[in-house]
Each structure stands twice: as structure tokens, then as C-alpha cells.
Structure 1
Amino acid sequence: MSIWIEILVSVLLLIGGFFVLVGSIGLCRLPDIYTRLHAPTKATTVGMGAILIASMVMMSVEEGHLSVHELLITLFLLITAPITAHMLAKTALHHENRALKRTQSQQLMSNAREQLPPDANRSHE
């Protein structure tokens, strides 16, 4: 295997590992659910994408043809991560989780809560 392929794979693995580490630390350290959603959906998606691309390059070179398994996994991650984050944010809004006081546009959150369908448990109160 060429030294340039090994360097490319190594750089992609280091970049991916760095982003996964930053996303994991952000998930643990950020103060509320809305900011915690940002860390895994952005940083970890980029990190896993870089790791999977490194794997795709390595397997393509070793097998002699394009390895699309890793590409399909990367596309699946890129499609599902924003959808999952959106669903978690809507659930947090529905459960009225509070955001940080310094969060800008607090009015947008209250408007979004007003647009949610009424909860069956709240109508009996």
C-alpha cells in the first residue's frame, strides 16, 4: 500500500477521532438539552463521516474496487442525525424543558410550544 494512502487514512482517522471526542465531551459538559443536541449532531456526525471515509479508502485500496458499504453508512448517518435531533428538540419543547436564560430568541420557543397539539393529560386538569 502506498505511503500516501496510509497518510490519508491516518489523517482522516485523526480528524474523525478528534470530532467524536469533542462531540462526546460536549454531550457531557453542555448545560441544557438544546445545547447538548448540537454536540452529537454536528461534531460526531462529521467525526463518524471522516472515520467511515477512511475505512472506505482503506478497503477500496485493499480489495481493488470501490467499497460502498461505508459510503451507505455515512449517507445514513448524515440523513438520520438531523431528523433525530429535530425529534428530540420537539420532545424537549413538548415536555417544557427550560433553556438557558442567556439563550437568544426565547420568544420563538414559547411560540413553538403554543403550536404543539394539546396534551391529553393537560386537558383533564
Structure 2
Amino acid sequence: MTDILFLAEILVAVLLVIGAVFTLVGSYGLVKLDQPMKRLHAPTKASTLGVGSLLLASIVHAFAFGEGSLHELLVMAFLFVTAPISGNFIAKVHLHLQRGGKELPPPPSEERWATYSEH
């Protein structure tokens, strides 16, 4: 029995590290990328996988060490359904504005208004 619990602890630790790395990459991409279409992919792809991995670690821990709950599974399903759809809607608005000949609103005059640069 302790071998199974040890394997569950290792699986939870691996899922937490994977989730943290994906979330960090998504957050860094959101801050560092400069164009809206580039910036769109960081939170919708990498952060979704990161949060999904963290929730999966929570599910494994709950079922291995205590009473299992399906709340995390419902949150994960909602996340995987809504994040790509909202990203798709944002991309469609951007494309419709470009194809319609309308300009996107200009960024504020400050050069570093939404991205991190080291100058």
C-alpha cells in the first residue's frame, strides 16, 4: 500500500512541476509578446495546459490520499472548453477589424505600455 502512495506522491509532484512550467511560460509570453495575435496564444495554450496539469495533480492527490471530489474535474472541463473558445472569439474580432479596413486603436504613447523590455 505504501508503494502505491509513494507512486501517487511522485505523480503529483511531476504534475505540479509540469503545471508550474506551463503556467510560467504562458505568463511570460503574455508579458513579453508585443502584438495582440501573438499575445493571444500564450494564455490560451500554455496556461490552459498549466492549470489543467495543476488540477490533475489535485485530482490525483484527492483520490489517493483522501476523499475524491469531482469539483476539480468540472473546473478542468470548463477551462478546456472556455479558454480556446474565448481565444477564438478574440482572434475573430481582430481579423474582422483588419479585413473591414478598420484600424486597431493605437497603443498609448508610452513605448513600454504592455510589454516588458529591458532597456
TM range (shorter): 0.7 to 0.9
Gaps of 5+ in 2: 101-119
Alignment-derived partner of residue 39 in structure 2:
36
| 16, 20, 24: which one aligns with 2:23 | 20
Superposition RMSD on alpha carbons, in Å? 2.0
Q: Which runs of 4+ in 1 moved over 2 A?
A: 90-96
Superposed CA offset, 1:87-110 (max 9, x none): 1112323444xxxxxxxxxxxxxx
2:20 is the counterpart of 1:5: no
Report which of the two structures shows the higher radius of gyration computed on alpha carbons. Answer: 1
Aligned-residue offset at 1:47: 0.4
Aligned length: 99
Question: What is the distance in 2 between the residues matched to 1:59 and 1:3?
Answer: 14
Identity %: 49
Structure 1: where are the runs of 5+ without partners?
A: 97-112, 115-125
Measured in 2, the distance between the counterparts of 1:62 and 1:5 equals: 9
Q: Deviations over 1:16-70 (max 9, x none)?
A: 0000000000011112000111111110011011000000011112224x42111
Question: Does 2:57 align with 1:47?
Answer: no
User: What is the match of residue 59 of structure 1?
Assistant: 62
Q: Which has the higher contact order (CA 8 A, sep 6+)?
A: 2
With normalisation by structure 1, the TM-score equals 0.71
